[in-house]
Structure 1
Amino acid sequence: MVRLQFPQRLVCVVAAALVATSPAWGQAKPAAAPAEKPQYGGSLSIGNVYYTVSPLSFDAADWPWKHNQDTGLVYEQLIAADLSKAKRNGGPFPFQSDAYLPPQGQRGELAEKWELKQNPWRLEVQLRKGIMFPAKQGVMAAREMTAEDVVYSYDRLNKSPKKIAGYFDHVEKVEATGKHTVVFTYKHYNAEYDYRFGWGYYSAIMPKEVVAAGAQDWKNMNGTGPFMVDNYIQGNSLSFKKNPNYWDSETIGGQPYKLPFVDGITYRFIKDEATMLTALRTAKVDVLESIRWSAADELRKNAPKLQWNKVLAMGGMFVAMRVDQKPFDDIRVRRALNMAVNKPEIIKTYWGGNAEMLGFPMHPTWTGYYEPLSDMPESVKELFVYNPAKAKQLLAEAGYPNGFSFKTQTTSASTDNDLLAMVAAYLAKVGVKMEIQVMEYPAYMSAMGTKTNAPGYFMFTGATNPTTSLRKNFVKGQYWNPSQWADPEFDKKMAEVYAEPDERVRQIKVKLMTREILEKAPLIFLPNAYSYTAWWPWVKNYGGELRAGSERPNPIHARMWVDQDLKKKLGF
């Protein structure tokens, strides 16, 4: 395998500082209180993180980013989060990231065990035996899930015209070497091998019978999961009923209990925020996974029994500056615009103190990869200090003593266009006029996807995971790269990171690359806001976890149970 090398002296020099500032895998909380004995029965109504967005497709081969959130109670994957290591259980992991499971936080779901081997690089997977697809009238008879289903699901994804370019380029072939064994043979090592077909956005194992019946039709959904689809009302709800023959169990208080606990789960889709908040307050919804900070105080007053968890936005908000066009091809201009925006004031006034400045594109929950701004070089730190005088100086040095004008695109779907107006006001103070163009969401996304976006582009993008976050935002030609960042040396470093099997080495290199991006400032970096998750106290075996895989909360929901006596006692 050919590997592109970072300057070794640079890695060694920075490594000591990075190791010193890197937190460990997280400090375990004290042992949890004695567990309550779970109850069976009842139902749950849940508003997911993206409760305003109805299902995009029920077919994984359509590559819909929201697929797991909608179908993950029915379709399972090879790997999922090990929820016994959640913070509420005394473990180190919050399990909130949209698409990141640290190696120490994974468990086999359909895979009983897996092993990565070399010469050639390959992943050998041993599947659990006796896991059944239930019978579904008009679709299939009950049968066992086997290695052939894994191969079929992979091949179908890989042949889909909608697949993400390069996603499976590291895979040479996938074979069933036995009824319950699968081997993924790689052309070369890829650091995201477990994400891309283990617990990723598109890793659902779907039987061929569902595809033959029509995988896009919600009525045909049929997988190995703890629930079976019951009903779907467009723009309103997606309901599931218990799979009585589900294979998995949950250990509580040292005793195993057959899953799932509840008889049914309904995911609610409500576009209007006020309506959804009312549904939570009146207990029409048991759990609401995403509540804006501005609504939290009122809810606490009106529904004081609610339980809460605070979440720092899993992604980054920014104004991208097209570095392939003037004036943003000049680093002095890009740095100047960052210094011209009063970020601490934005946190205080716009977010009411409920936000943080992060070292984007990393996130603090990615332990080992994240480096706080306070530990960064001065050349990075000064971009987050309000300094309009220095901004004007840099603009003059770049040949713009009187400033300039540029257009920034945003979408009417954004709830933060008032923030963009604040940014424009700050820039005006140093002579830079920003014209704001509000677009309908499809046109807005098309502009980025076709690389025809304006010199400025306002957006919030999901963090995903440490390596993907760097790649999708800053590797040449990537879809989610509105700054059109294109640096051959950076791309080489990215390839090296993907080819590095040693995670500790990857972490150091990712931190160095993050410093590089921050210093070169292709974006006007903006704060990350806090939001909240809230649930009623009768919802048990839950602590605000959001994802057990890529946008997949469903294994979390399948382990919740309802204290029905408490619910009645509280008047519901």
Structure 2
Amino acid sequence: MTTRHRKRRIARTLGCAIAALSTLCASAVASETPKPGGVLEIATLYRTLPTLSWDPADWGWKTNHDTGQMFEQLFAADLTKAKRLGGPHAFYADAWLPSDAIRGELAERWEWKQNPLRLEVTLRDGVRFPEKPGVMAARDLVADDVVYAYNRLLQSPKKTAGYYDYLEKVQATGPKTVVFTFKKFNSEWDYRFGYGYYSGIYPKEVVEAGITDWKKLNGTGPFMLTDFVQGNAATYTRNPDYWGSATIGGQTVKLPLLDKVVFRNIRDLSTANTALRQGKIDMLESVRWSDVEPLKKSAPQLQWARWLSMSGQFLAMRMDTKPFDDVRVRRALNMAVNKQEIIDAYYGGQAELFSHPQHPDYTGYYEPLDKMPDSVRELYVYDPARAKKLLAEAGYPNGFSFKVQVCACNPDHMELLPLVAAYLEQVGVRLDIQPMEYGSFLATILAKTHAPGLFSSTPHSNPTTTLRTNFLPGQQANTAIYRDPDFDRRLAEAYGEQDEPKRQAMIKALTREIVDKAPYIWLPTPYVFTAWWPWVKNYGGELRAGANRPGPIYARIWIDQEMKKKMGY
């Protein structure tokens, strides 16, 4: 047995033991008696990025992360189905909730009706916007608030093209009833207007007062934004009028349990690790694989969760630029990179070979590599001789050179790209690497003026969005400038298929096809770790209760202040 196989067997055995232990511990965790109070100091997944916008109509991918403590949505994750409680879901996917893991948040119930196809949503009673001096008096949430927030998104000049084209209209048919009338079925309906990146519900009064001013924000959520220092911290304080409750430890408790949640912006990796180790923050949601063992040694009481990154890594090759209009070149560059060696040597085994564009968390949509056609599997096998042969057949026997842009804000990419370049150089392909700061990097992508090569990562989002955003014309993440009208048509058909097993089969076929055509150099996906101190209670590594939205998770956490004090913090 090789060392690699031995390590894998040990890892599998350890994984099974951990899974069994988690099941045994689930009842103990669930039975812990809540002790409301405390302040959660946290460096979130996006600790390096300050708030980009408070306004959902700006269509910013991060807005929901920053406003999701105040702006609630129609739907959210059913956190009672978390793995730590014996359920099936980890709740770390960036923008996907399985159909059996959705609960109504502002929606009390919803029902499909026909002729015309429509969704009737009944809002909860007792949900209120608290008083906000200078902005609004306290009042109940009504259906007109949902319609207003939706129409404002629809009319925004920044909206994603086609995002709501399947809807005919949205209207309030009663004080608590909202009706979404469809032109045609869209399988992402729940994600797009129910728990998505931009679907937070806020009152008209906030917009009129100035929604870009954090001091004017107001929502129905468990927390209120009470302090904000750009690039430093955002402080969310308990909303005493919050409507929500949860059953924890066998008893029903009023939410939120915490007094405050403080998001700390910490740009430097070592500074974040030090803050965690010294107990200056209670939780660090994203820990790099290389920092895990040092932290375990210096702070052995820390609790840990491991999760496979929800962003696929790749080197995009512009297919509207020579030589990348030739599939032989693109396939050659994939074969020239030793991806398994990257996993073993660079990531120390903490990565997966095949998890993009579909993520293994997408049960029913994801197919493992060993189920893929031979033409797909060979892209993941290191074969420089075959790569040279394909390059020669394409007219590049001596290779070529091209520029690759990369964001200097991503330390993993800055380290990984030179390694990829070294592999490609062995087959005569030379990279001119151009690091860029985040703003310029993003602007270049949006304008589609980026170089022939772009080293990046993009969120999976969900099983259909991952194909739409990466490979449809005009989409922001389509950095390979991929164009195929037949692919576009078939993806549209998949969106319109109401039968999920049939839709899953359609998505699998499209995924096999896109991987085979190699618009990217497909690279391994790393594991990421979350660490927290044991005084953080009712938590097990959950990260998102909707699209990049952690608010409902934090609302159910409490700090065991006695334990924290006894541990010397």
TM-score (norm. length: structure 2) = 0.94
Structure 1 stretch displaced more, 53-62 or 481-490: 53-62
Equivalent position SS for 1:461? strand
Partner residue of 2:426?
429
- 1:246 deviates by 0.9
Cα displacement string for residues 58-103 of structure 1 (whole angstroms, at most 9, x for unaligned residues): 1111222111211111110000000000111111111001111111
Structure 1 stretch displaced more, 440-449 or 557-566: 440-449
Find the partner of 1:275 among 271, 278, 290.
271
Partner residue of 2:10?
none
Alignment of 1:289-438 (within 5 A): 289-415=285-411, 416-438=413-435
Partner residue of 1:520?
517
- 1-structure distance, mates of 2:436, 2:268: 20
Find the partner of 1:557 among 537, 554, 559.
554
Alignment of 1:182-197 (within 5 A): 182-197=178-193
**2:38–2:260 contact (8 Å) kept in structure 1:** yes
Equivalent position SS for 1:466? coil
Partner residue of 2:166?
170
Alignment of 1:449-528 (within 5 A): 449-528=446-525
- 1-structure distance, mates of 2:320, 2:347: 32
Equivalent position SS for 1:409? strand
Cα displacement string for residues 433-486 of structure 1 (whole angstroms, at most 9, x for unaligned residues): 222122232232222222222211110111111111000001122111111100
Q: Does 1:125 align with 2:126?
A: no
- 2-structure distance, mates of 1:57, 1:193: 24
Alignment of 1:114-263 (within 5 A): 114-263=110-259
- 1-structure distance, mates of 2:552, 2:475: 31
- 1-structure distance, mates of 2:431, 2:322: 14
- 1:29 deviates by 4.4
- 1:128 deviates by 0.2
Cα displacement string for residues 184-239 of structure 1 (whole angstroms, at most 9, x for unaligned residues): 11111111111111000001100011111111110111111111111111111111
- 1-structure distance, mates of 2:410, 2:223: 34
Q: Does 1:531 align with 2:510?
A: no
- 1:118 deviates by 2.6
- 2-structure distance, mates of 1:445, 1:136: 36
Equivalent position SS for 1:238? strand
Cα displacement string for residues 517-547 of structure 1 (whole angstroms, at most 9, x for unaligned residues): 1111111011111111001101111000000
Partner residue of 1:543?
540
**1:477–1:486 contact (8 Å) kept in structure 2:** no
**1:29–1:91 contact (8 Å) kept in structure 2:** no
- 2-structure distance, mates of 1:29, 1:185: 43
**1:320–1:522 contact (8 Å) kept in structure 2:** yes
Cα displacement string for residues 92-132 of structure 1 (whole angstroms, at most 9, x for unaligned residues): 11100111111111000000011223322211101001211
- 2-structure distance, mates of 1:239, 1:469: 33
- 1-structure distance, mates of 2:568, 2:445: 50
Equivalent position SS for 2:464? helix
Equivalent position SS for 2:304? strand
Equivalent position SS for 2:511? helix
Find the partner of 1:32 among 24, 27, 32.
27
**2:405–2:450 contact (8 Å) kept in structure 1:** yes
Change (3 A) 1:359 1:304: closer
Equivalent position SS for 2:194? helix
- 1-structure distance, mates of 2:400, 2:230: 47
What RMSD in Å do the two structures reach over aligned CA positions?
1.4
- 1-structure distance, mates of 2:216, 2:404: 44
Cα displacement string for residues 329-377 of structure 1 (whole angstroms, at most 9, x for unaligned residues): 1111111110000111111222122111124101011111111112211
Partner residue of 2:11?
none
Change (3 A) 1:317 1:465: same
Aligned letter for 2:36? Y
Aligned letter for 2:151? D
Alignment size in residue pairs = 547
- 2-structure distance, mates of 1:251, 1:439: 48
**1:359–1:371 contact (8 Å) kept in structure 2:** no
- 2-structure distance, mates of 1:443, 1:239: 29
Partner residue of 2:37?
41
Instruction: Quote the sequence identity (%).
Output: 59
- 1-structure distance, mates of 2:408, 2:374: 37
**2:312–2:355 contact (8 Å) kept in structure 1:** no
Aligned letter for 1:36? E
Structure 1 stretch displaced more, 264-273 or 433-442: 433-442
Find the partner of 1:108 among 87, 104, 111.
104
- 1-structure distance, mates of 2:396, 2:236: 60
- 1-structure distance, mates of 2:420, 2:275: 35
Aligned letter for 1:32? S
- 1:272 deviates by 1.5
Aligned letter for 1:365? D
- 1-structure distance, mates of 2:63, 2:324: 37
- 1-structure distance, mates of 2:48, 2:553: 20
- 1-structure distance, mates of 2:336, 2:58: 43
Aligned letter for 2:511? T
Aligned letter for 2:326? D
**2:313–2:524 contact (8 Å) kept in structure 1:** yes
In structure 2, stretches of 5+ residues that fail to align are: 1-18
Aligned letter for 2:501? R
- 2-structure distance, mates of 1:258, 1:162: 38
**2:166–2:182 contact (8 Å) kept in structure 1:** yes
- 1:390 deviates by 0.8
- 2-structure distance, mates of 1:71, 1:331: 43
Partner residue of 1:83?
79
In structure 1, stretches of 5+ residues that fail to align are: 1-25
Equivalent position SS for 1:32? helix
